[in-house]
Chains A and B, each alone.
Chain A
Amino acid sequence: MKKKLLLGVFEDEHKMIHTLEILFAKGVDVFDCYTPFPVHGLDDLLKIKRTRLPIVTFVAGFTGLAVALAFQYWVSVVNWPINVGGKPFNSLAAFIPVAFEITVLFGAFITIFAFFLRSSLFPKLDTESIFNEITENHFVIALDLKDGTIDVDAMTKLFALQGAIKTETKGVVL
């Protein structure tokens, strides 16, 4: 999707956090922040709800467990039971190792897939980054200009006052 954003760029994460606190107090909705590493404390300042990925992991893992146990049971007891050393056909204890591995496999891969989907991460040939310095050492606050509720001049002044090295309006594809 295409978005028009007002971007305030900082070189210091503390200045960015301080600015966010001011914005939070003023009731301004911040669209997102772009940082080279996860800065702590931003979840509350950006009003981000806790992700539901752990639920995905649980459901996926449980599915894996069920699939693995059911499959092993069907193979060993129903479809083609083979007498190996007198061991019982339906040996739950023996089925546990494979069931555990499949649980972890399903849990891991499905959660990662959900993460990619949710964060719109997929192989892209042409990536024009918002600013190339973000992944290196710049911290950016992004305000969404779509409804026109953001006073661009006031925000630019505020960013500059708090130590932003530049403020820009940019159209980005996300």
Chain B
Amino acid sequence: MSGKEVVSILRNPLVTEERTYKQVSDDVITTLETPPSKMWWISFITALCVLIMGIGVVTYQVRTGIGTWGLNKTIGWSWDITNFVFWVGIGHAGTLISAILLLFRQKWRTSINRAAEAMTIFAVMCAGVYPVIHMGRPWLAYWVFPYPNTREIWLNFRSPLLWDVFAISTYFSVSAIFWYIGLIPDLANIRDRSTGLRRKIFSLVSLGWTGSHRTWHRYEVLCLILAGLATPLVVSVHTIVSMDFATAVIPGWHATIFPPYFVAGAVFSGFAMVLTLLIITRKVMNFENYITINHIEAICKILLTTGMLVGLAYSTEFFIAWYSGNEYERFVFINRAIGPYAWAYWIMVTCNVIIPQILWSKKIRQNLVIVFIVSIFVNIGMWFERFVIITTSLHRDFLPSSWAMFSPTWVEVATFVGSFGLFFTLFFLFIRFLPAIAISEVKSVMNFARKKNH
């Protein structure tokens, strides 16, 4: 099977070192078969501690009430909904990599889609905490689902808040099952390498997968179908989230640009988080041959594109506010730039529009330290974008006598930090117990741009 190796000059190989199929399985699965490293334990325990802190704070807040937050009559939503939209936005990159890049036949997605989809599921779980805890009576959260009840009342299907319930639930369940379907062949691979209890567990979850081609044929069609369903789903989910604001009447919210603006922003922030996670994961798990510098570059290019889309949306909003002649709309945007929250606004613009511009340079795109720092800035900038949209539009709307200021309490800050604890706990569990790279998919594309003479 070995012979002279010819590498294409037009296309980059998707796996940068010559690997055999067995080596691919070994590279990914050996970490699951051996006891975890000290670094894993430190990271996992840290994340778990942060999560436990978060659970404690949320318990305190639910028992005591929303008064533990810094909200008031004027600013009824702030950190809670900012964080909700932040986490949902992060989730969108995973589906984009899994679904949209599959439809576009982009083979390079195969080494990053598993981790990215896992990130989506965990991010949506973090997001889902907020709508529940921001209710006055979270123990009645199940009331948001339409079921025949003794209150003899249904839900208001004309409300975007209810559309959100359906959108987020559907997004979570479809993403989870799509991720699981992708896992089945790899779980079978782990099963076949194991004995004893591990074999029993992986037998259960790999559903008796044999590798039969008849099944592979249906499986490939199924993945295309799910990708075709997930793509409009992901666009619809963040559109519906944006409708929470766009269907309101207050200036700064009531704008038709919100759906595409939010979707582009979600892709932007999601890819920034993917970049943050992958740069660390590839180093720690020795996946540099699979998550190659070309992958990082491709993600940087997507980041640059969506960053400019977001910048375009900012300018459009501002222009339309001026062009409309509406004094309230005009004021909101001037207030954002020079009012009491101007510091937040300018952090947002710097992090989202200005800093990503350095990614035009190929040399910078290939410098992982700089790229990592840029991704952190984008994450920060996108958090501030949601904060600016929500809080600054609320704090000064139509009636000056209602104008107020908001600052977060320790409870809100601790809850947000706790959500990162949840996210990272789940992520570290994932890389410990499940294959973080889609092994069978990588095997099917790894000889791309590489030709072996027999």
Contact = CB atoms under 8 A, between A and B. Distances in A.
Interface in B214-228: 214-222, 225-226
A137 B217 contact: no
B218 A101 contact: no
B299 to A, nearest CB: 24
Interface in A76-124: 76, 79-80, 82, 84, 87, 91, 94-95, 97-98, 100-102, 104-105, 107-109, 111-112, 115-116, 118-124
B211 A135 contact: yes
Interface residues of B, number: 69
A105 B210 contact: no
A105 B178 CA distance: 12
Give the one of A97, A112, A133, A174 with max B CB within 10 A: A97
Interface stretch (B229-237, B347-355, B357-365): B229-237
Q: A38, A100, A129: which has the most chain B beta carbons within 10 Å?
A: A38
B177 interface: yes
Contacts of B212: 32-34, 119
A42 B225 CA distance: 20
A84 B1 CA distance: 71
B211 A91 contact: no
Contacts of A91: 158
Given A54-B221, A126-B203, A76 B211 contact: no
A168 interface: no
Contact of B188 (A61, A71, A80, A135): A135
A123 B188 CA distance: 12
Contacts of B166: 97-98, 101-102
Contacts of B189: 36, 135-136
A134 B222 contact: no
A133 B192 CA distance: 7
Interface of B: 1, 20-22, 25, 146, 152-160, 162-163, 166-167, 169-170, 173-174, 177-178, 181, 184-185, 188-189, 191-193, 199-200, 203-222, 225-226, 229-230, 232-233, 236, 240, 243, 440-441, 443-444, 454
22 contacts: A12-B454, A35-B213, A36-B211, A37-B440, A38-B219, A38-B220, A48-B213, A61-B229, A76-B154, A80-B154, A91-B158, A104-B230, A104-B236, A107-B225, A111-B225, A119-B218, A119-B219, A122-B208, A127-B199, A135-B211, A136-B21, A174-B210
